């Protein structure tokens, strides 16, 4: 080996033992390269699997959200008389579906945005009630497991539609097991009532 200029000796100048060492080193280098290539492929496969798992969990979370929302809506419908009483009203009846469709047609005919019309059509609960003086009124309720700003906005809008189409006094209300931070205050500011659904009311009959 030429130690003065740092050059490794040519293979033909090596002793048999030296050539054997170089061959073994070449084998190690080739094995390490092959290992690196395989590890890269393994990492790529693991990343893809983790991505698929993450997508599955995202879908599961979305489905659980739908189930929680549906559960809250069902609980609100079962508690309609309690919501009305909480607001100082006496419930008369729930709005029949055919009457809701009539209001939906009125909303569409009046030029409301189609997205708002469809959202109004999916109202969680609309009640005909009477106030303390016996005067009729409508209450539009939006229910979610956790009440958020968009629930308040929908309840307010639905109540405004009902007032526009009937001329009666109307109130919006939201119902949920939880009220998101600050949303109770926001609801009060726009005249929307907040009703907390007791956890026991979510239990199956």
Spell out the domain ranges in the chain.
71-202
- Supply the pLDDT for residue 150: 95
Note the helical H segments in the chain. Answer: 16-78, 80-86, 97-109, 114-121, 149-166, 183-189
CATH architecture assigned to 71-202: 3-Layer(aba) Sandwich (3.40)
Q: What confidence tens digit (pLDDT) does each residue in 64-107 have?
A: 555 565 677 888 999 999 999 999 999 999 999 999 999 999 99
* Alpha carbon distance 154, 96 (integer Å): 19
Q: Is 186 exposed, middle or buried (0-12, 13-18, 19+ CB in 10 A)?
A: middle
* Alpha carbon distance 43, 32 (integer Å): 16
* Alpha carbon distance 160, 18 (integer Å): 92
Q: What confidence tens digit (pLDDT) does each residue in 2-57 have?
A: 444 444 555 566 677 766 777 777 777 777 777 777 777 777 777 777 777 676 75
In this predicted model, which residue has the larger pLDDT, 6 or 118? 118
């Amino acid at each position: 080996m030429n130690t003065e200029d740092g050059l490794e000796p040519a293979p033909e100048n090596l002793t048999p033992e030296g050539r054997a060492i170089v061959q073994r080193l070449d084998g190690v280098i080739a094995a390490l390269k092959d290992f690196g290539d395989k590890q890269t492929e393994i990492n790529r496969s693991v990343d893809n699997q983790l991505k698929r798992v993450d997508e599955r969990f995202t879908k599961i979370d979305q489905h659980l959200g739908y189930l929680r929302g549906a559960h809250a809506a069902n609980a609100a419908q079962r508690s309609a008389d309690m919501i009305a009483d909480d607001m100082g009203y006496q419930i008369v009846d729930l709005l029949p579906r055919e009457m809701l469709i009539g209001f939906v047609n009125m909303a569409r005919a009046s030029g409301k945005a189609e997205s708002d019309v469809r959202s109004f059509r999916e109202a969680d609960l609309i009640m005909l009630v009477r106030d303390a003086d016996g005067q009729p009124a409508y209450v539009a309720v939006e229910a979610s497991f956790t009440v958020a700003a968009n629930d308040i906005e929908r309840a307010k809008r639905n109540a405004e539609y009902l007032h526009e189409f009937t001329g009666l006094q109307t109130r919006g209300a939201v119902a949920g097991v939880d009220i998101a931070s600050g949303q109770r205050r926001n609801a009060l500011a726009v005249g929307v009532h907040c009703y907390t659904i007791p956890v026991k009311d979510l239990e199956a009959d």
